[in-house]
Amino acid sequence: MHTIADIRSWASEELRRARVDSPVLTADLLLGFLIGWDRVRILSHGEQQVSDETWDRLRRLVLRRANGEPLQYLTGEQEFFGLAFRVTPEVLIPRPETEILVEKALDLIRGNYPSSIRFADIGAGSGCIAVSIAHEVPSSSGFAVDVSASALQIARENAVRHGVAERILFVQSNLLDGFPQKPCLDFVLCNPPYIALNECDSLPPEVKNHEPHKALFGGESGLEIYRRLVPEVSPRLNAGGYLLLEVGAGQAQRVGELVVGAGLRLREALNDLQGIARCLVAQKTSREK
Ligand code: GLN
């Protein structure tokens, strides 16, 4: 038998040696995940004994984390917009930057749409965008679209978990292929894979070795998905409807040109906390086709 204090110090030392960020916090999160305790309780019960089984399971998780597996895939969870999302290696781990897009969509919905709206989250992955919007706006309904059936399965689980599954339809489609070419959507939201293939080597190992490449890479230039998606959006947006796109560092200008080239009005570019343009907001005004 070991005490909480013993296994905490072993785990944080092991993680520190492997140069994992925030080793002590990571050790506590892994232990807390295994025994269902929060950090305060862990810190105040150092003398308590844990079973050999818990010790064994913790050891295995710590070694996997030390080997580069993201914490979120070990615990199966990531918080996004105040909600806990289940994540597996089939889906991208939701990032805080993507909350900018959700926040903006909510502002626009609340300011402009007194009744119901219909949205499509393209490349839904874990479903974090679609589920957050549906959760915040009870009068909304929409589509979570992904090419990957296993990603859609996770998105659906997250929708069920947060009580919004009856308002989201899960569609396996390559971008908007599965949608009729006529106005049917008020919001198209997308955080596409936008990393250029040649940047693969410079990504942290935990990203490049563990997150789904399909969810990360946007072809040679990183812009491939924008090039395909943007022209598909305008014919499917209702007049006054919006397209919100997350973009990678340095891509806003070129993606903005694609948006304008497709006949949409570029309304805004929103920066993240580091001052990088992260989210483009475009609108189909009533005169555009
Ligand atoms: N929509 C999901 C997210 O924002 C997945 C995005 C992706 O796979 N590129 O996290």
CATH of the domain at 41: 1.10.8.10
To which residue do tokens 């994992």 refer? Answer: 20
Tokens of 102: 């959700």
Question: What is the atom index within ligand 1 of the atom nearest the CA of 93?
Answer: 10
Task: Write the residue with the smallest CA distance to atom 4 of ligand 1.
Answer: 191
Residue 111, judged by CB atoms within 10 A of its CB (0-12, 13-18, 19+), counts as exposed
Rounded distance from Cα 264 to ligand 1 centre (Å): 23
pLDDT along the chain (289 residues), means of 10: 93 96 96 95 95 96 97 97 98 98 97 90 98 97 98 98 98 95 97 96 94 96 97 96 97 98 97 96 78
Tokens of 242: 């919006």
Rounded distance from Cα 132 to ligand 1 centre (Å): 13
Give the per-residue pLDDT at 287.
56
Task: Write the residue with the smallest CA distance to atom 3 of ligand 1.
Answer: 94
Rounded distance from Cα 127 to ligand 1 centre (Å): 7
Q: Is residue 16 part of a domain?
A: yes
Same domain, 246 and 145: yes
Give the per-residue pLDDT at 289.
47
pTM (two decimals): 0.94
CATH of the domain at 89: 3.40.50.150
What domain count does the chain have?
A: 2
